[in-house]
A and B are shown apart, each in its own frame.
Chain A
Amino acid sequence: MTIAYVPLDSVAVAMEANAVAAQLAEAGATVIRNGSRGLAWLEPLIEVQDEKDRVAYGPVTPETVAELISDGVLHHQLIRHPLYIGSIENHDFLRSQHRLVFDRVGYDSPVDFPDPTDTLNALAMSPDALIDMIETSGLRGRGGAGFPAHIKWRTVRGTEAPAKYLVCNADEGDSGTFADRLLLEGDPFRLIEGMVIAGYATGAKLGIVYLRSEYPVAKTIFLQALEIARARNLIGRNVLGSDFDFDLELFVGAGAYICGEETSLLESLEGRRGQIRVKPPVPAISGLLSMPTLVHNVISFASVPAIVRLGGDAYRDLGVAPSSGTMSFQLAGNVKRGGLIEVPFGITLREMVEGYGQGTLSGRPFKTLQIGGPLGAYLSHQELDTPLTYEAMTDIGAGIGHGGLVIFDDTVDLAEQARYAFEFCELESCGKCTPCRIGSVRGKETMEQIIGGRATDREFNMIDDLCEVMDRTSLCQMGGMTPIPVRSAMERFQQDFRHRTKP
């Protein structure tokens, strides 16, 4: 019996993987829909398993898979075929990674119940010992802010309250990021295990995953995983035979980027417009329904089982403390080999762009990359040797954010990108504070004058003023960080702005 693996993740499906799977099934293969290995340019990447080998081919299409089938792919290896890859685990893009969160993704069906040893081991520890372990590990929030996780955990645990909650932020709205989606579609149990352990450590008995509505595949798979987790007692009463009760629910958002901001997300969960709350109090003290709430990104929670498995010290020793452990980077935009790259912190931007990415997709010269989503900095080729750590990025006025790297070739106009940064802020601002609500509109208009060649120094000074006001006085990072892409573009790519001024 020949097994054919065909990914069910959104990228593969958007490249016609469903048709490919149907053809392979028709040809007599037992088709297993697995998660994506994260080599996006090879999707749909199929793997054929015979008695001893598991061999990959990609990227396939419904046309090429028909060819492969008639050439006998289900009966013998087609070593000379141009789409033949061999064992995917030996692919340089994967072999050089250090996968802890994504270690299981792509091997099997995402809804195969995994070995729950990490969770069992965690439940055998005391909650305080677990939190100490998280502190030792140096885990910091993977959603964007990089806040030390153990401080939130200890705060939630130490705050007296009738109820405590976990909230998982799966509102992954940053362009250039898809790690949360890949994990939810490829190994949802990794997140569930992380949340169970965090619930046990903090004393929360209910967790809610807030998923963006743009991820329908992730929704379907996560709901299936929840049902299986309940049937197998990974969630529910007396989790895995312990005396700890924990339940998990899914909440689907409704199309608002700002709901990725934790307090907007909480407002949305309570059934209101996603308008931000003024902090303090922080959610760890007063969050969902005014109860202590641990809010983490998907990858933050999903990093927890590996910390339990390795121990805090071994996890911290990966990376470059205080940027400890592995980070799930995502390479996107105009790049030859895009996808998911989980490696310890400290790898340079050049290794990402030129090593993993192998340069631009168009073949034209690299011009800039934007790191950390729409509120992240545009960097130039002169900064490519900077290591990816929180500290080194701060030094050059950038941030890792959620780990997205968007590559642009030399056809990009940075003035247009700066205009777009203001426009995006205008579109997605919750409207609560004036600098964000109005500053974004004025910024966009002023940038349009610059682009139209109607600007004098007055317009440039106006941009400076707006950026300063938004940076210093916005209530949250939406308005507060919009100046980052604008200023970084203007500082590094002056020629895209200044040539347009009136003489």
Chain B
Amino acid sequence: MIEDDARTHILPHQHKLGGVIHALHDLMRVYGYIHEEHLPIVADVFNNSVAEVRGLVSFYEDFKTHIPAHTTIRVCQAEACQAVGSRQLTKELETFYRTELGHRGKDVELEAVYCLGLCASGPAIQFNDRLIAKASIEKLRVPG
């Protein structure tokens, strides 16, 4: 079942330039992560080895191999946000959500991101799909 379903999302990209990356993006969108069982299907469609596909998945940050948490918070760790307190904010988020950057807490995963392009309005975070500039722990306590 999963095989047929996944294949329908992979096949449309078969002949595109860099189609395998389009296909992996689609699998992420549909399933939330790349299943172990997806790898041989992707490899088959793109006439590649499973090792090659695994190599792709591990190289790119966007491709995850674990079930996503209910909430993913990406916290910018790059210089422009460092200059306005992202290190302190990261610590506060770690305490508040009782987890560590790069780890999954009970419902929340804190993830490092290197630049969201909001560099004049930092610190910047992304709460699931929502961008938040001038982020603070207070802004998260009352999600708007």
Q: Which of A233-241, A301-309, A314-322, A332-340 touches B?
A: A332-340
* In the complex, chain B residues whose CB is within 8 Å of the CB of A386: none
State in angstroms the CA–CA spacing of A417 and B80 once bound together.
Answer: 11
Which of chain A's residues 307-365 have a Cβ closer than 8 Å to chain B?
Answer: 330-335, 338-339, 361-362
Which bracket fits the contact residues of A?
Answer: 35 or more
Binary interface profile of A, 3-29, with partner B (CB < 8 Å = 1, else 0)? 000000011011110010000000000
B18 touches A175 (CB 8 A): no
B61 touches A254 (CB 8 A): yes
Which of chain B's residues 72-124 have a Cβ closer than 8 Å to chain A?
Answer: 76, 78-84, 113-122, 124
* In the complex, chain A residues whose CB is within 8 Å of the CB of B80: 175-176, 332-333, 404, 406
Contact of A424 among B20, B81, B113, B114 (CB under 8 A): B114
CB distance from B77 to the nearest CB of A (A): 8
Count of A-B contacts with CB under 8 A? 148
* In the complex, chain A residues whose CB is within 8 Å of the CB of B119: 175-178, 330, 332-333, 338, 404, 406
Contact of A255 among B60, B76, B84, B118 (CB under 8 A): B60
Interface size, chain B (Cβ < 8 Å): 40
Given known A-B contacts A11-B133, A330-B119, A417 and B79 have beta carbons under 8 A apart: yes
CB distance from B51 to the nearest CB of A (A): 12
State in angstroms the CA–CA spacing of A370 and B82 once bound together.
Answer: 12
* In the complex, chain B residues whose CB is within 8 Å of the CB of A174: 115
A333 touches B83 (CB 8 A): yes
A214 adjacent to chain B (CB < 8 Å): yes
State in angstroms the CA–CA spacing of A420 and B76 once bound together.
Answer: 13
B21 adjacent to chain A (CB < 8 Å): yes
B115 touches A41 (CB 8 A): no
B137 adjacent to chain A (CB < 8 Å): no
B21 touches A178 (CB 8 A): no
B83 touches A406 (CB 8 A): yes
State in angstroms the CA–CA spacing of A331 and B61 once bound together.
Answer: 27
- What are some 15 contacts across the A-B interface (CB < 8 A)? A11-B120, A177-B115, A177-B117, A216-B129, A251-B18, A269-B18, A270-B18, A271-B20, A271-B46, A330-B119, A332-B119, A333-B80, A333-B122, A420-B79, A427-B114
Q: Which 8 A-B pairs have the closest CB atoms?
A: A338-B120, A255-B61, A175-B78, A333-B83, A332-B119, A254-B60, A40-B120, A14-B133
Interface residues of B (CB under 8 A from A): 17-21, 24-25, 46, 55-56, 59-63, 76, 78-84, 113-122, 124, 129, 131-134, 144
